[in-house]
Every structure is written in C-alpha cells, then in structure tokens.
Chains A and B, each alone.
Chain A
C-alpha cells in the first residue's frame, strides 16, 4: 500500500485542479467497480453494486490539497501569491512549492519587525527568474502551486506533502480492493475542493442521495512535545470522529463504528476535534439530511510539506471501513 500512498501524495492536485490525482485513482479503481464517472465539478464517483437489501452508502475522501496561487509578478521576477486553503505563513518560510509545469520556487518574505506581522501579503516566491519576462515564460497569474514534499518511508510511519487527504483516497482504494460480499450499494467519491469549503462533497451528495455518508480524512494529534490537548495519538488506531467544528457525527453511526472496531479487534480511538471540518459536514446536510460520520487518520504536521501518518493506523482504517461495509448498517 505504501507504493499507492507514494504515487497519490506525489501527484499534483491543488483545489480546483485535481485532474492528475483523479487519473491515478481512476486507473486504480477501474476494474474494482461497476461504474466510474467524473461529475461537473470534477468529483470521481466509483459505484459498486450491492448484493443484498443494503443501504445507499456514500464514502468520501478528498483529492485536493492546499496550495498557493499567483496574484502578481514584479519586474525583478518575484511572485506574489495568495492561499488556496489554509496556510500558516510561519510554516511557509524557506519552503519550496512546485507549479503545474514543474517550475519550482522558494517562499520567502519581506523583513518584518515582529513574527506576528508575517502575513502572506508580505511574502513572495522566488523561482530563480532574473526578471519579469523570464518569470512569465514559466508561470502566469492564476497558476497554482503545491508544496514540494516527496514521499519518504520512515518505517511504520511515512511522511509526504498532501497526506491530507491522499491517505484517505488510498484507504478508499484499498477498501475497494479488499471488499468482499457487501449488501450495500457503495459510491466511493473522490471529492474536489474540500480544502476551500467542502464543495465537491456537497454537489456529489446531492446527486447520489445516500442513506449513509462516511468521510475519510486526516485529523490532528496531541502526542507531540507540549502539544495542545488532543486525545488522538499516532499509532493508536483508526480515529472515530465524534465532532469537529463542521459537524456532530450521527451518534448511532458513530456507536456502530465503535462496535464494529471492537467486534473485529481493530485498534481505534475516539476523536473530538476543536477546529477543522471535513466532507461529512456537507454530506450530512444534503437534500433532506443524511446520517454522516468520519473515520479519521491521525496525522502530524497537517498543512505542512511534511504530513506524517502511521501505516498501522492506515491499516486499521481500511479494516474498519471494509468490515463496516460488509455488515449490516443498522443504527
């Protein structure tokens, strides 16, 4: 599975430009499902028929990653930029970004007196171009870039850019590979534009009209030195979300996920996230409402070029998803 994670995390896919990620995933799931289509906003929807009187289940993992977008190029060839999704200016200094065509740049800043004065407006990207015309021959206003952060295998743990949420995509692909007899009609949706407002999940949920929605996404952990309190740790299993700032998970579905984890001895932990949101929030309020929950992958250093997950947690998430889909969904 690490090979899949490597290929997925290394694909270029800022919000709104997810096509390269979609290609990788489409290639992987082609033979595993009964129908595969891309909708108007770019969501990749993989449908697998059920073999019983099951439910309409929508699974969602987002393909998009955070990035930068060029807003101006000056006479000296320096690039000004804005954010696509949540960027912390302090996490950007000295980092590299890669644009669609392969152009790489370094992020730096005008001098600031106080760290708190560091704002994106004061920052720029240097792509090594000596002047405007040389810069404009490589990139243009409106071009998006993503972090340069190659996949590295640290053993149990792996690190890369865009683990948020390519690891969720990888889990969804792996679950489709392993899924045995399943009574439910399953729509595995690889969504777009989650990082800018849970947008792809909203329109795909409208189209699918599911009975149940489950999102797969990363969550933060509280296990690093002097971390802010957060009762989720790397390596302690699949995190079953109770709530975050975007949704309160359906309590019945949440309890059902916990019971499934216990019944199949799958390592798991509960998650209460104070900030952040995920696709399940959009699914939950689609049409007349959908019971929705989240299986989260504990992750360190989210929204940096070095997002880290533990492959044992990833394994637990796949197992929990597969076992849940193979059984009845009564809650």
Chain B
C-alpha cells in the first residue's frame, strides 16, 4: 500500500523530495500532467479543459521533525525542532538522519543517574542531543552535515482491526487520500496539490492556490483524535472509526457553509459515516487557499489520527476509505456546477 511508503519516507518541512518522488511515480499516467513549482509543491492536474468549477484539493507532504543545528565536542549532535513537537515525546527515540538514513538515538541520562527532582521535570529539546555513535566532533561533522534533517525511525504496520500505525500520518494519509481520488474519473478540472511547508505556516498552499486560482478549495488532513482514556467526551475532538471529520471552524478557516452542508448531505444520502472536528484549534492549508487572490470558498476534511506530531500515530483504514468515498461523492456532485 502506498500509505506504507509515504509514512516511512522522510520529509520534514522544506525537505519533501522523497515524498514527492513517491507521489509522482504513483500518479504518472493517471493524471493529465504533473507540475512542480519553485517552492516544491507537486500539482497533479486532471481534466484541465473540462467544464465545471476548478477544484483544488490540498494535502501536505511535509511532516514535523528535527534539524541538526550543531555538534558537541563529544560527537553528539544538537538539533532544533521543525514544526510543533511536544518536547516530552523526544527522549529515547530512534531517528534517521538525512538521505542516507544514518541512525541515531535521542539520548538522556538513565533513571539511575537522575536526582529525584530531575525525574519530575520533562527535559527540554535544547537539553537533549542525538547520538550517532561518533567519537568526536570531527567524526560527527564528516557523517552529518549541519542543517541535515532527522525524522523518527518508525516502521509502518497494520494492527488491531483495520488500524494502522506509523509516523507522519499527518498528513501522508491525506496524500494517500488524494492519490486514490486522482485515480477516479471525474468530469471537472481537479488540481491535486501536494503541498510543502504546511507545518511551519501553510506556506506551500499559499503559492499553489495562487497558481491554480481555484473556484473551490478542500484541505485533506490527518487530524487530532483524542478518543483515549482520561479525556472527557466533550474534549475528544474526533473518534477513530467514525468516518471523516469535517472542519466546523479552526484558527485558519471558517469553512464555506454551503460546501459543509453539501458534504453532510452527501454523507447522509449515501450512508457514509462522518463526524465533526469538534474543536476550533489548529489550522490547515485551507487557511491559505481561501485567501488566495479574490478568495476561494473552502472546506476541510480529515482522517482522524491519534497521537499526531509524535513518533507514531494511529489511524483507521475504514476512515481512510470513507474519506476517499465522501470526497469522490463531492467531486461528482459539483461536476455540473456549485453555488457556494
């Protein structure tokens, strides 16, 4: 499955080339053309000459990760975070650095050596380092260049009943949704935008929306899901297995109400499970798409993923399929035109 390859590919913000190559190979032959732009977005164009509204679908290729920022004399690597990562998830994780996938470990003092007080305070990322087994600064410098990226070393796998676990499901699962969608037949111009630098400020979406100049926009995400012990029902945001989550409002976008109503209508009519994303925090590429040029009615849809922005996230393949299904229904329904 392409999701495995997408999840295991390394692609922090600004370094999305591995992910882009996978998507390019996957879509070659299924779309009218594949365009790259100067910032690194990949735009898959389908039916550019067809009638109907130009629809832009966006899924971001980049993931949160680390960047090597310096060397200790001992040969340990200092790093900075790229995108939002909770410092507490970093300690004792394996990472892979650069395109050669050099293995490393984010180290910390063992529990035996910690003062009781130290155990109570989570380590900040600037107190941590990556151990690549180098014995000196010189050796480390030879192995890893300054500015190299590091991603969590996580293998993708299926488990439970129809669940998957892997890193970077935010938003490789959205990329996988778009790939499936772009292999369907539609009679309207569809621009599948695989965007860069979402995690550092929705940057790729801003320029790709300007380029595509769409009439409707949809961001396809892997989004927060907190259906776990210790979280009150009203704060769970989304739940695994209950279908794609529709954005009601977030920090970047108020979805176009007519598009939201149409997504709900289609889901009900065809018995596709759906849920609302029951929070207004966070932002997606729609936050830039809807502000492009003279404005673009936009909405957001997402596959719920537990534990996003951590070394491993969990999603449901059924939610994935239902997201593809609902978006297929939506695109077919706007083929004849749509009044937002």
Contact = CB atoms under 8 A, between A and B. Distances in A.
A and B interact: yes
Interface of A: 15-17, 39-41, 43, 69-72, 74, 80, 82-84, 121, 141-142, 193, 196, 199-200, 202-204, 206-207
6 contacts: A16-B255, A41-B295, A41-B296, A69-B248, A71-B280, A72-B233
B254 interface: yes
B254 A71 contact: no
A41 B290 contact: yes
B294 A204 contact: yes
B279 interface: yes
Given A69-B280, A71-B234, A84-B254, A206 B294 contact: yes
B248 A80 contact: no
Between A41, A43, A206, the greatest number of chain B beta carbons within 10 A of the residue's beta carbon is seen for A41
B278 A203 contact: no
B68 interface: no
A25 to B, nearest CB: 18
Nearest to A43: B295
A299 B36 CA distance: 50
Interface in B220-272: 233-235, 246, 248-249, 254-255, 257, 260
Contact of B254 (A16, A70, A121, A203): A16
A39 B294 CA distance: 8
B280 A83 contact: yes
B65 interface: no
Interface string B100-113: 00000000000000
A163 B134 CA distance: 65
A196 B279 contact: no
Contacts of B246: 142
B249 A69 contact: yes
A37 to B, nearest CB: 11
Contacts of A15: 254
Nearest to A197: B252
- Judged by DSSP, the binding face of B is loop
Contacts of A82: 249, 279-280
Contacts of B235: 72, 121
B254 A74 contact: no
Contact of B234 (A40, A72, A193, A200): A72
Given A71-B279, A72-B233, A121-B235, A141 B248 contact: yes
Given A71-B234, A82-B279, A83-B280, A203 B249 contact: no
Contacts of A69: 248-249, 280
A40 B297 contact: yes
B305 to A, nearest CB: 19
A203 B215 CA distance: 13
Contacts of A200: 295
Contacts of A74: 233-234
Interface string B288-300: 0011111111000
B233 to A, nearest CB: 7
B307 interface: no
B249 A16 contact: yes
A57 B340 CA distance: 28
B1 to A, nearest CB: 32
Contacts of B291: 199, 202-203
Interface in B147-193: none
Contacts of B248: 69-71, 141-142
Contacts of B293: 203, 206-207
B260 A142 contact: yes
A207 B292 CA distance: 11
A17 B294 contact: no
A72 B278 contact: yes
B14 to A, nearest CB: 25
Between B257, B293, B295, the greatest number of chain A beta carbons within 10 A of the residue's beta carbon is seen for B295
A142 B260 CA distance: 10
Nearest to B292: A203
Nearest to A74: B234
A170 to B, nearest CB: 24
A142 B249 contact: yes
B278 A71 contact: yes
A71 B292 CA distance: 28
A40 B295 contact: yes
B276 interface: yes
A62 to B, nearest CB: 13
Contacts of B294: 39-40, 203-204, 206-207
A39 B278 CA distance: 29
Contacts of B295: 39-41, 43, 200, 203-204, 206-207
Given A41-B297, A83-B280, 20 more contacts: A15-B254, A16-B255, A16-B257, A17-B257, A39-B294, A40-B297, A41-B290, A41-B295, A69-B248, A71-B248, A71-B278, A71-B279, A74-B233, A74-B234, A84-B249, A84-B254, A142-B246, A200-B295, A203-B294, A207-B293
